Amino acid sequence: MASLFRSSTRIVSQASRLSVCQPLATRSRAAPFLFRGLATAQEQPRLRLGSIAPNFQAKTTHGDIDFHNFIGNNWAILFSHPADFTPVCTTELGAFARLKDEFESRGVKMIGLSANDLGSHEDWIKDINELSKTDLSFPIIADADRKIAFLYDMIDQQDLDNIDQKGIAFTIRSVFVIDPNKKIRLTMMYPASTGRNSTEVLRVIDSLQTGDKKGVTTPIDWKVGDDVIVPPSVSTADAKKKFGENNVRELKPYLRYTTI
């Protein structure tokens, strides 16, 4: 019995050392990718709203970039696509290209990402311009090794569980809205089967910029020109001083509208 106990103790001790000493990355489901050099670090950054968007260097259709330098003092949207020459992605890139002037008028720089090389991107852009009757002029990142996709967690679990024969997962449809301070202000994630709404991306940028400038929040389905909400942190008396005595409509003490 004593011998059995000592043997069991050795097994438990060895298991404990493995679980404690083994790097976290090698114990995760994505471990094969890390050993193949497809992730940028062993520890995934925490991409919370309000956190600094991870910086990276990349090759794009407009040349090599440093992402933070690319943003500069502008707002930016980084949006990813599963692959070149795929139907949903082609419609999306065309829609964003047609809205170029709208984004620029808001001080927003667009940059796409697709998990292919630059040669593929260049040929694909020709198709996008032909089919969407547009002239795509924003850069597209070449992320064939998925390093940026992993850095920004643009991978879904199904693709990690069912990787292709090359050991590479597809990139999902992600949107990151980043402000001039390089902070992540909003994220959206879609499965590969569902195309995004480009006008919704514009709408949320309008909401974020309005909130920053005016100190307000926006209700559901809000659009520019609609009434906004006085945040709970502002008293009704202070709201009337700020927005006008007759320009605060109180439905409940916690729900007050105003016009800006």
Q: Count of domains in the chain? A: 2
User: At residue 17, does pLDDT exceed 50?
Assistant: no
Assess if residue 243 is contained within a domain: yes
Which three-class secondary structure string do you get for 22-49?
CCHHHHCCCHHHHHCCCCCCCCCCCCCC
89 counts as catalytic: yes
Q: Taking a C-beta distance cutoff of 8 angstroms, is the pair 204, 211 a contact?
A: no
| Residue 5 counted as domain residue | no
Three-state DSSP at 102 gives: helix
What are the tens digits of pLDDT across the range 131-162? 999 999 999 999 988 899 889 998 876 655 65
> Is pTM, for the whole model, over 0.95?
no
My answer on whether 246 and 124 are in the same domain is no
Q: Could you give the CA distance from residue 73 to residue 78 in angstroms, rounded to a whole number? A: 15
For residues 191 and 219, membership in a common domain is answered with: no
Domain contains 141: yes
Residues 158 and 254 in one domain: no
pLDDT the model gives residue 33: 39
- 88-107 burial, b if ≥16 CB within 10 A, otherwise e? bbbebbbbbbebbebbeeee
Domain membership flag for residue 209: no
* Same-domain pairing of 185 and 155: yes
The tokens for 32 are 């094969």
Residue 73 lies in a domain: yes
Same domain, 158 and 234: no
DSSP structure string for 173-242 = EEEEEE-TTSBEEEEEEE-TTS---HHHHHHHHHHHHHHHHHS-B--TT--TTS-EE--TTS-HHHHHHH
User: Directed axis angle between helix 198-214 and helix 87-98, to 10°?
Assistant: 40
Provide the token pair at 160: 């990690």
Residues 104-139 have pLDDT tens digits of 999 999 999 988 889 999 999 999 999 999 999 999
State which residues form the domain around 187.
25-196
For residues 107 and 230, state if they share a domain.
no
Average pLDDT rounded to a whole number, residues 186-208: 93
Same domain as 117, residue 68 = yes
Position 251 in a domain: yes
pLDDT value, residue 252: 96
Other beta carbons within 10 Å of 171: 26
Q: What is the pLDDT of residue 201?
A: 96
Q: Is 219 in the same domain as 191? A: no
CATH number of 115's domain:
3.40.30.10
Helix (H) or strand (E) holding 189: strand 184-190
Does one domain contain both 40 and 163? yes
Instruction: Please indicate, yes or no, whether residues 233 and 108 belong to a single structural domain of this protein.
Output: no
For residues 225 and 132, state if they share a domain: no
The reply to whether 224 and 127 lie within a common domain is: no
Look-up: residue for tokens 């942190």?
A: 233
Which one of the listed residues 30, 38, 89, 248 is annotated catalytic?
89
Q: Which of 196, 228, 243 is the last residue of a domain?
A: 196
Q: How far apart are CA 192 and CA 177, in angstroms?
A: 19
